[in-house]
A and B are shown apart, each in its own frame.
Chain A
Amino acid sequence: MDALYRDYILEHYKNPRNFGELDPHDLDWHDHNPLCGDELGVHIVVEDGRVKDLRFHGQGCAISQAAASITSDELIGMPLSEVPGLDAEWVIDQLGIDISPTRRKCALLGLKVMRGATTGDASWPE
């Protein structure tokens, strides 16, 4: 099996979880990776201070789509107050693969927009 393109990464890429849009939604955010121009948007419905439902949309490489898919699964049901605590390390742990510096932003774009929607923080996760 390929060390980067593991079967579950390709599976998430080809069949991303929670892909699409939510209307109506309570929160949304949109951003892009300046290196490659890939774009990602997110819609979130909030209930009782938690992420009740979430959909992401856009286009990107296998790493960015799989990372967004895996991150979205983790975020659904999570209290909004816990989202700011998620960082780059957390995403890379969830992915379970080594991410080279050139692919780091691919892996982090999903969390960036999801964190942006819930906290208004537009910075890259560190």
Chain B
Amino acid sequence: MGAVAHTPMVDLRADFPVLEREINGHPLVYLDSAATSQKPRQVIETMERFYSYSYGTVHRGVYELGREATELFEGARERIAAFLGWPSDCSIFTRNATEAINLVAYAWGRSNVGAGDEVLITEMEHHSNIVPWQLLCEETGARLRYLSVSEGCELSLDELDSVLAEGRVKLVAVAHVSNVLGTINPVGEIAQRARAAGAVSVVDGAQAVPQMPVDLGAIDADFYAWTGHKALGPATGMLHGRRELLKEMRPFLGGGHMISRVEREHSTWNELPWKFEAGTNAIAEAIGLGAAIDYLASVGMDRVREHERELAAYALERLPAVEGITLYGPESVDRRGGVIPFTIEGMHPHDIAELCDREAVCVRAGHHCAQPLMRLLGVGATARASFHVYNRREDVDRLVDALGKAREVFEL
């Protein structure tokens, strides 16, 4: 068995109240952070404090509460943008990553993609980075194309080059980290090659921002979308965009706050980023996300990444002991995030998850909102274990034990 180098891992479990819970008489083991992460006290308390003592609407109140709310809200935006290395005025609060991608598909796509053009995505995308482009292509007559996923679960830059060289691609959309396979894609390289070919790049960073250092300035994509609820924060997302593009784009949603002046027949738009933030924001969520980013920054994203890498390595070392198991995803933990998809012969993933739950081990089962990828893997569904800073090696041991008990129930 290959030895895993044991460097000290972070131990932040005391910050997460949910881990005090027992389910079915067992201490909770939460292994579904790729779907949504648990929240540290610091985030919960920040939001509670805001709702309790500082709640008001932003950008409008001339009274103290309004001023405080605005400062907290815009302060959160500034810290989040700085954390990721992108200008604050080009960092837009959205409902989630899905809405951020839809914003690009509507506000940029509808004006810039037409019949005969191509939108290039990949076979490892989440439905949120497939369906908005299907809708765009159906409406405009553009063609949706897919970059293939290799047997090693990676994308090919050569294939990207050859598709781009045909000269019809207007937009390339790709996941930074696959939510199913864990593959870390070379998004900086992809964005650069897309730009050289005259195409705009959109990166779905929903699985990347929570678990690894992300420098948006270095990646230099045209658009980068992610969501807070996977990053220890509440359910609010962000879209970071290139200023020139955001300035030219039509608004996404119309309404209050996104306007400069409203006439009877037409309107003019607010400045960036508010041009894309129609209506009252999810203010407490934005402030909560600021607290989540402060928390991650205090841990250090290098340490978070190392922690995820260690747990993935430990899981890849331990799980093959389960009879009948098949693991998916890149072999090297240097090229994958903390996501381990697996199947067990003779047991459907739903039943695996149900029986793990008896042992208070939460794993996801299903298609993970990536049905085209599931078909490619030749399975209808997989089980999936994913990690965050509150997980430890014992959680992997508990998973292995739960899988052994599940096999007993199924008399395998």
Interface residues of A (CB under 8 A from B): 2, 4-5, 10, 14, 35-39, 59-63, 65, 103, 106
Chain B residue with the shortest CB-CB distance to A106: B350
- A37 and B381 within 8 A (CB): yes
- The 5 lowest CB-CB distance pairs between A and B, nearest first, are A61-B348, A61-B350, A37-B367, A36-B366, A62-B351
- A5: B residues at CB distance < 8 A: 351, 355, 409-410
Q: What is the distance, in angstroms, from B4's C-beta to the closest C-beta of chain A?
A: 33
Q: Which of B26-63 contact A (CB under 8 A)?
A: none
Chain A residue with the shortest CB-CB distance to B370: A37
Given the complex of chains A and B, what is the CA–CA distance between A59 and B349 in angstroms? 11
Given the complex of chains A and B, what is the CA–CA distance between A2 and B348 in angstroms? 17
Q: Which of B341-397 contact A (CB under 8 A)?
A: 346-351, 354-355, 365-367, 371, 374, 380-381
- A4: B residues at CB distance < 8 A: 354
Q: What is the distance, in angstroms, from B194's C-beta to the closest C-beta of chain A?
A: 31
Q: What is the distance, in angstroms, from B16's C-beta to the closest C-beta of chain A?
A: 24
CB within 8 A of B365: which of A36, A59, A63?
A36
Q: What is the distance, in angstroms, from B366's C-beta to the closest C-beta of chain A?
A: 5
Given the complex of chains A and B, what is the CA–CA distance between A14 and B348 in angstroms? 11
- B409: A residues at CB distance < 8 A: 2, 5
Main DSSP-derived SS at the B contact region: mixed
- B411 and A10 within 8 A (CB): yes
Count contacts between A and B, CB distance < 8 Å. 46
- A61: B residues at CB distance < 8 A: 348-351
Given the complex of chains A and B, what is the CA–CA distance between A3 and B62 in angstroms? 61
Given the complex of chains A and B, what is the CA–CA distance between A122 and B250 in angstroms? 41
A60-B348, A61-B350, A62-B351 known; A39-B410 Cβ under 8 A: no
Given the complex of chains A and B, what is the CA–CA distance between A39 and B348 in angstroms? 13
Given the complex of chains A and B, what is the CA–CA distance between A57 and B411 in angstroms? 23
Chain B residue with the shortest CB-CB distance to A62: B351
- B380: A residues at CB distance < 8 A: 36-39, 59-60
Chain B residue with the shortest CB-CB distance to A35: B366
- A10: B residues at CB distance < 8 A: 410-411
Interface residues of B (CB under 8 A from A): 346-351, 354-355, 365-367, 371, 374, 380-381, 409-411
- A36 and B367 within 8 A (CB): yes
Q: What is the distance, in angstroms, from A103's C-beta to the closest C-beta of chain B?
A: 7
7 A-B contacts (beta carbon < 8 Å) = A5-B410, A10-B411, A36-B350, A37-B366, A38-B348, A38-B380, A63-B350
Given the complex of chains A and B, what is the CA–CA distance between A53 and B173 in angstroms? 49
Further pairs besides A35-B366, A36-B380: 6, Cβ < 8 Å = A10-B410, A36-B381, A37-B371, A60-B348, A62-B410, A65-B348
A2-B409, A5-B409 known; A37-B351 Cβ under 8 A: no
Chain A residue with the shortest CB-CB distance to B374: A37
Q: What is the distance, in angstroms, from B312's C-beta to the closest C-beta of chain A?
A: 25
- B410: A residues at CB distance < 8 A: 5, 10, 62
- B346: A residues at CB distance < 8 A: 14
Given the complex of chains A and B, what is the CA–CA distance between A38 and B347 in angstroms? 14
Q: What is the distance, in angstroms, from A97's C-beta to the closest C-beta of chain B?
A: 12
- A103 and B381 within 8 A (CB): no
Q: What is the distance, in angstroms, from B373's C-beta to the closest C-beta of chain A?
A: 11
Q: What is the distance, in angstroms, from A102's C-beta to the closest C-beta of chain B?
A: 9
Given the complex of chains A and B, what is the CA–CA distance between A83 and B354 in angstroms? 31
- B351: A residues at CB distance < 8 A: 5, 61-63
Chain A residue with the shortest CB-CB distance to B346: A14
- A35: B residues at CB distance < 8 A: 366
Given the complex of chains A and B, what is the CA–CA distance between A38 and B367 in angstroms? 9
Given the complex of chains A and B, what is the CA–CA distance between A63 and B374 in angstroms? 21
A5-B409, A10-B410, A10-B411 known; A38-B354 Cβ under 8 A: no
Q: What is the distance, in angstroms, from A124's C-beta to the closest C-beta of chain B?
A: 17
Among A2, A35, A37, residue most surrounded by chain B Cβ atoms (within 10 Å): A37
Chain B residue with the shortest CB-CB distance to A59: B380
Q: What is the distance, in angstroms, from B326's C-beta to the closest C-beta of chain A?
A: 15
Given the complex of chains A and B, what is the CA–CA distance between A60 and B371 in angstroms? 15
- A62 and B374 within 8 A (CB): no
- B366: A residues at CB distance < 8 A: 35-37
Q: What is the distance, in angstroms, from B165's C-beta to the closest C-beta of chain A?
A: 35
Given the complex of chains A and B, what is the CA–CA distance between A61 and B346 in angstroms? 10
Q: What is the distance, in angstroms, from A34's C-beta to the closest C-beta of chain B?
A: 9
Given the complex of chains A and B, what is the CA–CA distance between A39 and B374 in angstroms? 13
Given the complex of chains A and B, what is the CA–CA distance between A64 and B271 in angstroms? 54
- A103 and B354 within 8 A (CB): yes
Given the complex of chains A and B, what is the CA–CA distance between A26 and B371 in angstroms? 31
Given the complex of chains A and B, what is the CA–CA distance between A65 and B374 in angstroms? 20
